[in-house]
């Protein structure tokens, strides 16, 4: 069958013939791929900065954000049937008995580093016509969410970040009695890519007054989208960080989804008392930059601040992502649809993966 993959040893990206998978264990499910999202991680793998093929292969099939339709279930599968729509998760546990998180299905916190990730690290991905997956790594998608379900995986990253935030802030009486945990608080989202926009939606749903601080000058379609959901877009090009701080007031939370350290560490300076700053972006390795480390350390201590990094997602994060997509679709149907900026055939892979990054979330359509 057709697949898009990389040959890291030859530094090549191409369309390849990949063997069609079959179910070989009773708890496996065979899935027909419908859509696969493209993200910064895929683009980085195509620059050979990241990504590893399975041990026995010289290529890695790309794709870790997918939605598909179940076409076969093994005899032990109880939660899915033919015709169901599903989204797979990305990370698979390491093999070591001593890894508590992996043994408890919390491979997002793997201790050994020997986890694998579909389409990223040592396991083929979903940018192909069919794939096989264990039941426990799949999530059921309600029919009415099928068209936006390719956003579940990127949203799951934001959902895990939110859970980290609640856990960090449980150190203080942060909540003010409102059922919306962010009510009366101000959040800043750095970056207006899919992880930033989906994160902003989740923050608004949780009651935060939300600003999105990003590079592109206004007007631009991402700014329009952000403003249409009730957040406020501010361009870093026209409003420098200090001026932004005056505009926003106390910043209780910063959700970084930009992957650019220079801007990020400038914004750390404006985090408020008892604030939390969560990093989700994965910058490529670059030369060191100056950071006002003493001031930063002084502030972190005197203001009780926490910076926390988060990667990947667990089962509750996927479940929250599916629930929140349903909420977003009711509240902002047009804006949510426009997060998916383009649908392309598999043959367009080269421009999508190597060309200038355009739009918000571009998707490869493989089936209906």
Rule CB under 6 A: which residues touch ligand BGC? 39, 41, 64, 90-91, 117, 120, 153, 157, 311-312
Alpha helices, H only, 189-314: 194-205, 221-228, 241-248, 261-268, 293-302
Minimum separation from the CB atom of position 60 to ligand BGC (A)? 12
- Percent of the chain that is helix, strand, coil (3-state, to 5): 35, 25, 40
Measured from the CB atom, the residue of 64 and 185 that comes closer to ligand BGC is 64
Q: Which does 157 bind (CB under 5 to 8 A by kind): ligand BGC, Zn ion, none?
A: ligand BGC
- Mapped onto helix, strand or coil, the DSSP state of residue 114 is coil
Distances (CA, A) of 8 to 90, 120, 240, 286: 20, 12, 40, 21
- Which of the 8 DSSP states describes residue 75? T
Measured from the CB atom, the residue of 39 and 110 that comes closer to Zn ion is 39
Q: Is 41 a binder of Zn ion (CB under 5 A)?
A: yes
Q: Is 33 a binder of Zn ion (CB under 5 A)?
A: no
Measured from the CB atom, the residue of 120 and 190 that comes closer to ligand BGC is 120
Minimum separation from the CB atom of position 227 to ligand BGC (A)? 26
Q: Which does 16 bind (CB under 5 to 8 A by kind): ligand BGC, Zn ion, none?
A: none
Minimum separation from the CB atom of position 156 to ligand BGC (A)? 8
Q: Which does 311 bind (CB under 5 to 8 A by kind): ligand BGC, Zn ion, none?
A: ligand BGC
Minimum separation from the CB atom of position 43 to ligand BGC (A)? 10
Measured from the CB atom, the residue of 41 and 235 that comes closer to Zn ion is 41
Q: Which does 312 bind (CB under 5 to 8 A by kind): ligand BGC, Zn ion, none?
A: ligand BGC
Element (H, E) at 28: strand 28-37
Q: Is 267 a binder of Zn ion (CB under 5 A)?
A: no
Alpha-carbon gap, residue 308 to 24, rounded angstroms: 40
- Mapped onto helix, strand or coil, the DSSP state of residue 350 is helix
Q: How many chain residues interact with Zn ion (CB under 5 A)?
A: 2
Measured from the CB atom, the residue of 157 and 307 that comes closer to ligand BGC is 157
Minimum separation from the CB atom of position 91 to Zn ion (A)? 12
CA torsion sign, 45 to 51 to 57 to 63?
Answer: negative
Minimum separation from the CB atom of position 166 to Zn ion (A)? 23
Minimum separation from the CB atom of position 37 to Zn ion (A)? 7
The dihedral over CA atoms of 81, 361, 186, 240, expressed in degrees to the nearest 10, equals 170
Measured from the CB atom, the residue of 90 and 197 that comes closer to ligand BGC is 90
Alpha-carbon gap, residue 54 to 60, rounded angstroms: 7
Alpha-carbon gap, residue 244 to 169, rounded angstroms: 24
Beta-carbon contacts of 251 under 8 Å, excluding residues fewer than 6 positions away, are: 186, 187, 188, 245, 270, 271, 272, 275
Beta-carbon contacts of 186 under 8 Å, excluding residues fewer than 6 positions away, are: 208, 209, 210, 211, 248, 249, 250, 251, 252, 253, 272
Minimum separation from the CB atom of position 94 to Zn ion (A)? 20
Q: Which does 120 bind (CB under 5 to 8 A by kind): ligand BGC, Zn ion, none?
A: ligand BGC
CA 115, 121, 123 angle in degrees (round to 5)? Answer: 90
Minimum separation from the CB atom of position 271 to Zn ion (A)? 26
227 near 233, Cβ under 8 Å? yes
Q: Is 39 a binder of Zn ion (CB under 5 A)?
A: yes
Q: Is 127 a binder of Zn ion (CB under 5 A)?
A: no
Q: Which does 90 bind (CB under 5 to 8 A by kind): ligand BGC, Zn ion, none?
A: ligand BGC
Element (H, E) at 212: strand 209-214
- Mapped onto helix, strand or coil, the DSSP state of residue 315 is helix
Measured from the CB atom, the residue of 59 and 233 that comes closer to ligand BGC is 59
Measured from the CB atom, the residue of 154 and 275 that comes closer to Zn ion is 154
Measured from the CB atom, the residue of 5 and 272 that comes closer to ligand BGC is 5
Please name which of 22, 16, 46 lies closest in space to residue 132, comparing C-alpha atoms. Answer: 22
Report the interface residues with Zn ion, using CB under 5 A. 39, 41
């Amino acid at each position: 069958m057709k697949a898009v993959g990389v040959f890291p040893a030859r530094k090549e990206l191409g369309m390849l013939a990949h063997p069609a998978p079959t179910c070989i264990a009773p708890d496996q499910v065979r899935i027909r791929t419908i859509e696969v999202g493209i993200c910064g991680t895929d683009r980085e793998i195509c620059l050979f900065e990241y990504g590893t093929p399975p041990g026995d292969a010289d290529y890695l099939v790309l794709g870790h954000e997918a939605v598909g339709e179940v076409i076969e279930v093994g005899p032990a599968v109880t939660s899915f049937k033919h015709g169901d729509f599903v989204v797979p998760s990305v990370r698979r546990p390491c093999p070591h008995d001593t890894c508590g998180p992996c043994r408890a299905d919390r491979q997002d916190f793997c201790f050994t580093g020997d986890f694998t990730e579909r389409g990223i690290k040592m396991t083929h991905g979903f940018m192909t016509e069919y794939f096989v997956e264990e039941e426990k790594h799949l999530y059921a998608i309600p029919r009415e969410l099928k068209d936006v379900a390719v956003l579940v995986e990127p949203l799951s990253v934001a959902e895990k970040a939110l859970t980290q935030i609640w856990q960090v802030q449980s150190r203080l009486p942060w909540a003010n009695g409102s059922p919306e945990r962010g009510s009366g608080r101000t959040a800043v989202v750095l970056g207006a890519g899919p992880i930033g926009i989906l994160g902003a939606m989740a923050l608004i749903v949780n009651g935060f007054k939300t600003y999105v601080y990003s590079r592109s000058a206004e007007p631009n379609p991402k700014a329009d989208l952000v403003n249409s959901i009730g957040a406020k877009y501010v361009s870093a090009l026209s409003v420098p960080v200090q001026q932004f701080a005056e505009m926003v007031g106390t910043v209780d939370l910063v959700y970084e989804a930009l992957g650019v350290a220079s801007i990020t560490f400038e914004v750390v300076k404006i985090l408020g008392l008892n604030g939390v700053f969560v990093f989700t972006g994965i910058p490529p390795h670059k030369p060191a930059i100056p950071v006002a480390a003493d001031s930063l350390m002084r502030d972190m201590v005197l203001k009780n601040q926490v910076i926390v990094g988060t990667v990947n997602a667990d089962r509750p994060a996927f479940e929250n992502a599916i629930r929140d997509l349903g909420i977003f679709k009711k509240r902002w149907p047009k804006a949510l649809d426009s997060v998916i900026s383009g649908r392309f055939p598999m043959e367009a892979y080269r421009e999508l993966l190597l060309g200038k990054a355009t739009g918000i979330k571009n998707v490869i359509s493989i089936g209906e």
